Structures are given as structure tokens and as C-alpha cells.
Amino acid sequence: MRTPTAVALIGAGLATALGLAFWSASSAPPDATLVQCTSKSRRAATVEAAVSLRLVDRGSTPDRVSTGGRALSFDEWRDAERDLFERACEVSVRAAQPQTSPDPLVTALIGLVPIAGGAAIAWFTAGWRDALNRGKAQAAALSKASRAFVTAVRDYCDAQVNGAADTVATLTSEVRHKRDDLVSQLNRTAALRRGWTAPGALEGQVTSGVLGDAISTGWAYRDDRGERRGRAGDVTRAVEEVDRRVDVVVRALETPGRRHAELWAEFPKEKRR
């Protein structure tokens, strides 16, 4: 299940349970409550509630009140002190309602709220741990491929400088093999982190210029060892630069969920394809 889908399902479940809970606990509509309080059979009870709450004093009859030094009829009190009347009315109606057991369905749904919350936390924790583990595994594989490519290129350059023609052909094949391995790991990284431009940029570096097919050219015409050392220096610096940039990607893979300022400074976002 993809993350957005799971989040939507969990959110919908929680919203439904909470909505039913609030619906179950809601009071009667205000108009219906007021109608009950103003009926002749409920007036005395409403006045009694107001007296109990110390909102008014008792009047001369059960449906009359005394407030602010004035004796008021029920209707006069209702119109003069609307807020106090409504407060007493609500208390009176609630006190008269029989105590009922909560709806079993609502109770069950409310019970699911902490369960769903715990499941959501566990799900996200497992997903985070999986992303962390996959990132670290890919970081290790990418770093290993980069180091192997650097070693192969250095060995190749040493053979060229020393004029070891018998090993150059073998090392040329080794360089190509290690380059293919590195490109493969860069492609795996691109699949794991689709928004990153680094894998594509690094692949371009290792498959073009002095590290591409041109790595095996330009040596035969340099009979002087000093000239060959210059060529070897260019190739070595190029591969070491690739390795440095790979290390930036490796550190980002090891820390998923962060902003990766170092990564975006090395491989700007505007270069995304």
C-alpha cells in the first residue's frame, strides 16, 4: 500500500470515529430545548434550576422569580435575562433526561481511535526504518563501486606510465567493468531517489571525457614518461573528483528525510530533468 493511500484510510477512519462520538454526545437542538422549558409543565423545573444555580431567587409562585429587586413572571424573566434563562433551561432539560447507555457502535468506534493511532505510528515507523535501511544499503553499494572504479583507474594509469604494455589491455577491461558497475549503482540510486539529479550528473562524468572511452587513447603518442605522467594526472584527478562527489551522495543516502543542503549545493535542483 502506498503512503498517501494508507494515510487517507487511517485519516478517514479516525474522522469517522470522532465524528460519531461528537454526534452521540451532542445536546438537543436549542429550539427544541427552549420549547420544553417554556411549556407549562416544565416552567417550575426551569425556575428551580435557575435557583439552584443562584441565577435568580424564588418568586411568590413556582413559576415566578425575583431578580435584581424585581418580581418577574416566567415570560418576563425569559425576555429580560435571556442568557440566564437559556442556561437554566439547558440544565433543567438535561437533568430530566433519563440516563442511557452509549450506543455500542459508537463505543466500539471510539475504542478504535487509539488502536488506529497506534497502528498508524507503527506503520510510519516501519516505513521510516525500511527507508533508512534501504538508503544505507544503497549508500554502501555505491561507495564500494566508486572505490573499485578509482582503484581500477589508478592501476591503469600506473601501467601506462610505466610502459607495462602486457598489463594495459587487461586493466583496460577492468576499468570498463568497474565503470559499468558504478553506472549500475548510480541507476539504482536514481530509482531510489527519483528527485535527485546527482546520479545522472555522475553517470555523465564517468562515461564521457577522460573517464569515458577516451581513457584508453592519447597514451601511444607519449613516448616520454613525463608526458605520460601528465596524462595520468589528468585522468586521476578526474576520477578522484567523481569519488568526492559520490561521497556527497552516499552521505545523503544515509540520512533520509533531511534537507540535504550539501547534496543540492553540489548538484543544484534547477538541473533536474
My answer on whether 140 and 44 are in the same domain is no
Q: Residue 6 pLDDT > 90, yes or no?
A: no
My answer on whether 85 and 153 are in the same domain is no
Q: Residue 86 pLDDT > 70, yes or no?
A: yes
Least confident residue range of 16-20, 190-194, 253-257: 16-20
Whether the Cβ atoms of residue 46 and residue 56 lie closer than 8 Å to each other: no
Residue ranges making up the domain that contains 17: 3-96
The model's pLDDT over 162-179, given as tens digits with 9 standing for 90+, comes to 877 778 888 999 999 999
My answer on whether 73 and 148 are in the same domain is no
Higher pLDDT, 233 or 15: 233
Task: Name the grid cell of 267.
Answer: 548538484
**What is the pLDDT averaged over residues 121-144?**
79
Residue 120 lies in a domain: no
Higher pLDDT, 252 or 111: 252
160-183 residues labelled b (16+ CB within 10 A) or e (exposed): bbeeeeeebeebbebbeebbebbb
Whether the Cβ atoms of residue 91 and residue 51 lie closer than 8 Å to each other: no
Given the DSSP bridges, would you call strands 57-58 and 65-67 parallel, antiparallel or unpaired?
A: antiparallel
Starting at the edge strand that comes first in sequence, how are the strands of the sheet with 65-67 ordered?
Answer: 57-58, 65-67, 70-72
Higher pLDDT, 248 or 162: 248
Rounded CA separation 199/147 (Å):
16
My answer on whether 80 and 174 are in the same domain is no
Residue 129 lies in a domain: no
Give 96's pLDDT tier (boundaries 50, 70, 90).
Answer: confident
Compute the half-sphere exposure of residue 99: CA atoms within 13 Å on the CB side of its CA. 0
Provide the percentage of residues in the chain whose pLDDT is more than 90.
34
Residue 113 lies in a domain: no
Q: What is the DSSP string of 29-98?
A: PHHHHHHHHHSHHHHHHHHHHHHHTTSSEE-SSTT-EEETTEEE-HHHHHHHSHHHHHHHHHHHHHHHSP
Residue 124 lies in a domain: no
Least confident residue range of 6-15, 205-214, 223-232: 6-15
Q: Residue 60 pLDDT > 70, yes or no?
A: yes
Domain boundary among 37, 64, 96: 96
Least confident residue range of 20-29, 86-95, 134-143: 20-29
> What torsion do the CA atoms of 193, 4, 130, 195 make, to the nearest 10 degrees?
10
Higher pLDDT, 134 or 95: 134
Give 28's pLDDT tier (boundaries 50, 70, 90).
Answer: very low
Summary mean pLDDT of the chain? 81
My answer on whether 150 and 38 are in the same domain is no
Give 63's pLDDT tier (boundaries 50, 70, 90).
Answer: confident
**Prediction pTM value:** 0.55
Cβ atoms within 10 Å of 263's Cβ, excluding its own: 22
Please report the pLDDT score of residue 101 as a whole number: 61
**What is the pLDDT averaged over residues 78-105?**
80
Q: Residue 223 pLDDT > 80, yes or no?
A: no
Please report the pLDDT score of residue 26 as a whole number: 46
Q: Residue 25 pLDDT > 50, yes or no?
A: no
**Beta strand spans in the chain (E):** 57-58, 65-67, 70-72
My answer on whether 43 and 146 are in the same domain is no
The model's pLDDT over 101-130, given as tens digits with 9 standing for 90+, comes to 666 776 766 777 777 677 667 665 656 577
For the chain, the domain total comes to 2
What are residue 67's phi and psi, to 5 degrees?
A: -150, 135
Please report the pLDDT score of residue 161 as a whole number: 87
What's at 186, amino acid-wise?
Answer: L
My answer on whether 267 and 165 are in the same domain is yes
